[in-house]
Structure 1
Amino acid sequence: MAAADKGKKAKVAEEGGSPSPSPTASPEFLQSISKLQEIQDELEKINVKASNEVLVLEQNFNVLRKPVLVRRNEVIGTIREFWPTAFISHPILGDLLNEEDRKILKHMSSLEVEEAKDVKSGYSIIFNFSPNPYFEDEKLIKTYCFNEEGKLSIMCQPIKWKDGKGTNGNGHDKGGKRPYTSKSFFTWFSEAVKSDGRVDQIAEIIRDDLWSNPLRLFQEEVDAMGLYGEAEGEGDKGFGGGNEGAEEDEGGDKEEVEDDDDKEYYEEDGDGEEEDIGEDEDDGGTDADADEDE
């Protein structure tokens, strides 16, 4: 018996641990555990109160954010392909897209994340789409709900794919090319609760990263393509857009250039070249005066 006890102690020493308390603990030990439990219960009450107050505070700030988010969406609406560009630029979300997904995402017009009035109850992720050749839906919505016990449930609807389209491997690229085989991001919209009952990482990234600051992601993509330098002075609202402002200038017969207090006027001659009218008249007057002096 003594040899067995020595063997157990040696094993504990090798593992770097310490012997567990004796089953017949002393009154002092039991009293300490009881006091510790009381303190832990007190801390738990404070934690619950803090959590509730944080939720109330978050709800109040959501009210303040709402009109600002509306203004942000209005400005984003003037930038062509803003949300697709920001989505693709994300280091994780972008890798979830196959070739066909990227084509579909080009038709995404806006993104919304709607928090429940009671923040802890959940939120909805809404992808808005313009009319497109892939599906009938104008909105793809996935809602995450939590009950009082914190158990997660997900509400989502299958996408109404048009004939020949979808994420089941039957879709083909234009021209009857071979079907795309990699998993589509759009299957996420109809996926149910994960086996471990947690919100999936995609939802968390969209809510906490993409929705929180899409401008950062958009700028990273634009910077990588060097489009800021090209867009300066073109007056184009779009991402990689055209030259509407330049076309209007070319369509006019006369362009006024103002330099300090002097004004010069330019007019196109028959060959499409610009002729400086103001300077010629001045030069002509000077030459005539010179002839008279002679």
Structure 2
Amino acid sequence: MSEIDTAALEAVREDIQDLAEATSKVEIQLANKRAELMLPIFEKRRAIIAKIPKFWSVVCQNHEAMGAIMSADDIPILDHLTDIWVQHDTKDSRNYTITFTFKENPYFTDKELVKKITIKDDDEAVAESTKIHWKEGKNVTLKRKNDAENESFFSFFEDDDATLADYIAHDMFTEAFAVYVNDDSDGEFDDSESVDLDDDEEDEEEQKPQKKSKK
């Protein structure tokens, strides 16, 4: 193995750092432009999806990252889900809000449940969530507290982790039609990186085959 020229590397360290920062800025600009161009397409898709009963419930059940943390108790609640929408910050698309819209249901009083992701100066993702106002006896997250087999998806609104939000915003939402028909070719979820809404629990599930990444 060849030796690294430490002195030469040190002499250009600042130049390398400047290039890295410039690259990062360009990547953000590209992501911002993509979000801008895709917005009208997603708006047209939104109108089409509204004609398909339980579309988003099926998508949530089919998506691997979601399925990894869903329980059977979640499904009848998700059947009342009418829309999922991802809104990106126009200045920095890494900041985004996911809004889950529900029709009137016997489980909670909220019409919308929201997860907001903000990237701080140190590139750390900070998550803020809606507090769910459960109707009496309907809180499925309480039912799952002592059940290590499956977590409830609705615990997603109780934690400050951005991992699942990232899968929802950048895979499940963008590839919704492919996920609906269960087409593995378009998904990017790699379940070797487990989505765990409870940091104290160990992941004991067997690893599933990975989906193919986009080229």
**Greater RCO structure (CA 8 Å; 6+ sep):** 2
Other-structure match for 1:187: 155
Other-structure match for 2:139: 166
Q: Which moved more, 1:90-99 or 1:154-163?
A: 90-99
Find the aligned partners of 1:170 and 1:187 in 2 and give their Cα distance: 11
The Cα shift of 1:186 comes to: 0.2
Q: Is the 8 A contact 2:31 2:93 kept in 1?
A: no
Q: Is the 8 A contact 1:104 1:134 kept in 2?
A: yes
1:194-240, Cα deviation, whole Å (9 max, x unpaired) = xxxxx32x11211221011111111128xxxxxxxxxxxxxxxxxxx
1:118 is matched with which residue: 91, 98, 120? 91
Gaps of 5+ in 1: 1-28, 172-179, 194-198, 222-294
Q: Is the 8 A contact 2:141 2:154 kept in 1?
A: no
Other-structure match for 2:176: 214
Q: Normalization by structure 2: what TM-score?
A: 0.74
Find the aligned partners of 2:182 and 2:135 in 1 and give their Cα distance: 34
Distance 1:76 1:162, change over 3 A: same
Distance 1:150 1:170, change over 3 A: closer
Distance 1:148 1:121, change over 3 A: farther
4+ runs of 1 displaced by more than 4 Å? Answer: none
Other-structure match for 1:205: 167
Other-structure match for 2:187: none
What is the aligned-residue identity percentage?
23
Equivalent runs, 1:245-256 vs 2, <5 Å: none
The Cα shift of 1:39 comes to: 2.3
Q: Normalization by structure 1: what TM-score?
A: 0.56
Gaps of 5+ in 2: 184-215
Amino acid across the alignment from 1:41: E
Aligned length: 179
| SS of structure 1 residue aligned to 2:113 | strand
